[in-house]
């Protein structure tokens, strides 16, 4: 991975009326790095991405994207970044080739014909190039959208929940292509709700209510929260779940198939609670490593609790 910073921003803020949507946002992304951007719906992910790619101008803050100032040089950023939106935004009444040719014309590409041909081949679209975009499945629309935002050879891809509604096979193929692009030195910032996708990223950022809560590798993010997790198996897990939720040492209880995941931050208190419940029932408890999902649910719950406390104060 390169030491070159493709994104280097700090203190970005954006308000819409009286709503403070993004608060003091800062991020650094290197060339060749896949950076996962996570958070619940309405947390500010899309607004942050649009500020980075020049579609929205921050109200305050500073920094650069692709070497351009994110406040004064937004037009230059828009020309050199590849942005894939949440919704399919190409023309459904045009064929795959016609869509790519039209996008290439918008960028004013002189070599648009070989560029379109190369994009068709790279994304496996050549055999379908005469098919209307509106007739494509979600996975093929995803490939077409990625081909379109790669046409002008950007050094940065901003992908806003690109695999929503796509089947597992198409998702796996998409991520294989993203890693291939990163291997060529392209930086990728991708927002996602899928924990398995987050684990495919080199580093992660988690945003909630416009505030960036944590960044780092998956291992660093998990270790930083110091959560303890137990897995419970046995009969009548519904009754066990109700009993565990009443214990102060237990922060989270979540069903996973035929098991329960129990998580808390106070190790000794949680161990004592597990021992107490285990002595009185037919359940079996085993320690387990905390997952990214455990950590992100904890971060969201903790941040929501702090917001409620401030509102009540």
Strand locations in 148-258, DSSP E? Answer: 156-160, 187-191, 203-208, 211-216, 228-233, 252-256
Q: Are residues 291 and 159 part of one domain?
A: no
Q: Are residues 92 and 46 part of one domain?
A: yes
What's residue 166's pLDDT? Answer: 81
Please indicate, yes or no, if residue 162 is contained in any of the structural domains.
Answer: yes
User: For the chain, what is the domain count?
Assistant: 2
Inform me whether the pLDDT recorded for 5 exceeds 80: yes
Please indicate, yes or no, if residue 140 is contained in any of the structural domains.
Answer: yes
Strand locations in the chain, DSSP E? Answer: 5-16, 19-30, 34-38, 60-65, 68-69, 81-84, 156-160, 187-191, 203-208, 211-216, 228-233, 252-256, 259-264, 284-288
Please indicate, yes or no, if residue 206 is contained in any of the structural domains.
Answer: yes
Inform me whether the pLDDT recorded for 268 exceeds 90: no
What's residue 313's pLDDT? Answer: 47
How far, rounded to the nearest angstrom, does the alpha carbon of residue 147 sit from its chain's CA centroid?
20
Q: Nearest 5 degrees, angle CA 266-CA 270-CA 272? A: 125
What's residue 241's pLDDT? Answer: 93
Query: Could you identify the residue written with the tokens 């939106």?
Result: 85
Q: Are residues 202 and 66 part of one domain?
A: yes
Please indicate, yes or no, if residue 221 is contained in any of the structural domains.
Answer: no
Q: CATH number, domain at 14?
A: 3.40.50.300
Distance of alpha carbon 212 from alpha carbon 242, whole angstroms: 32
Q: Are residues 275 and 157 part of one domain?
A: no
- Point out the domain boundary residue: 155, 185, 216: 216
Q: If you average pLDDT over residues 192-213, what whole number do you get?
A: 92
> Tens of pLDDT along 30-58?
999 999 999 888 899 999 999 999 999 99
Q: If you average pLDDT over residues 3-7, what whole number do you get?
A: 92
Expressed in percent and rounded to 5, the helix, strand and coil fractions of the chain are: 40, 30, 30
Q: How many helices (H) and strands (E) does the chain have?
A: 11, 14
Domain housing 241 = 226-312
Residue 87 structure tokens: 């919704």
Give the count of alpha carbons within 13 A of 160, CB side only.
Answer: 21
Q: Are residues 189 and 87 part of one domain?
A: yes
Of the candidates 313, 52, 304, 284, the one whose C-alpha atom is nearest the C-alpha of residue 191 is 52
What's residue 93's pLDDT? Answer: 95
What's residue 296's pLDDT? Answer: 86
Q: Are residues 178 and 83 part of one domain?
A: yes
Q: Are residues 52 and 191 part of one domain?
A: yes
> Tens of pLDDT along 146-196?
999 999 999 999 998 888 878 888 889 989 999 999 999 999 999 988 888
Could you give phi then psi for residue 179, rounded to 5 degrees?
-65, -35
Q: Are residues 232 and 91 part of one domain?
A: no
- Point out the domain boundary residue: 182, 216, 250: 216
- Point out the domain boundary residue: 168, 183, 216: 216
Model pTM greater than 0.75?
yes
Q: Are residues 169 and 77 part of one domain?
A: yes
Inform me whether the pLDDT recorded for 235 exceeds 60: yes
Q: Are residues 272 and 181 part of one domain?
A: no
> Tens of pLDDT along 127-142?
999 999 999 998 899 9
Q: Are residues 75 and 207 part of one domain?
A: yes
pLDDT classification of 279: cutoffs 50, 70, 90 = confident
């Amino acid at each position: 991975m390169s030491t070159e910073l493709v994104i280097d921003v700090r203190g970005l803020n954006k308000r819409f009326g009286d709503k403070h949507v993004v608060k003091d946002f800062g991020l650094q992304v290197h060339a060749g790095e896949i950076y996962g951007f996570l958070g619940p719906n309405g947390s500010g992910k899309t607004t942050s991405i649009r500020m980075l790619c020049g579609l929205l101008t921050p109200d305050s803050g500073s920094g650069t994207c692709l070497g351009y100032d994110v406040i004064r040089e937004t037009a230059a950023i828009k020309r050199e970044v590849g942005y894939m939106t949440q919704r399919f935004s190409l023309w459904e009444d045009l064929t795959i080739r016609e869509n790519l040719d039209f996008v290439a014309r918008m960028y004013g590409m002189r070599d648009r014909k070989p560029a379109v041909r190369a994009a068709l081949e790279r994304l496996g679209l050549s055999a379908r190039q005469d098919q209307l975009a509106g007739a494509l499945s979600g996975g093929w629309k995803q490939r077409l959208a990625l081909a379109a935002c790669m046409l002008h050879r950007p050094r940065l891809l901003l992908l806003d929940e690109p695999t929503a509604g796509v089947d597992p096979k198409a998702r796996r193929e998409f991520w294989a292509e993203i890693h291939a692009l990163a291997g060529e030195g392209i930086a990728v910032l991708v927002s996602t709700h899928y924990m398995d996708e987050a684990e495919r990223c080199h580093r992660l950022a988690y945003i909630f209510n416009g505030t960036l809560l944590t960044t780092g590798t998956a291992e660093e993010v998990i270790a930083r929260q110091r959560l303890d997790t137990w897995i419970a198996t046995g009969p009548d897990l519904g009754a066990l779940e109700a009993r565990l939720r009443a214990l102060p040492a237990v922060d989270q209880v979540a069903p996973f198939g035929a098991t329960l995941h129990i998580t808390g931050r106070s190790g000794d208190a949680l161990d004592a609670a597990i021992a107490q419940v285990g002595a009185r029932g037919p359940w079996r408890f085993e320690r387990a490593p905390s997952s990214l999902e455990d950590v992100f649910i904890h971060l969201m719950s903790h941040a929501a609790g702090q917001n409620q406390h401030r509102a009540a104060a």
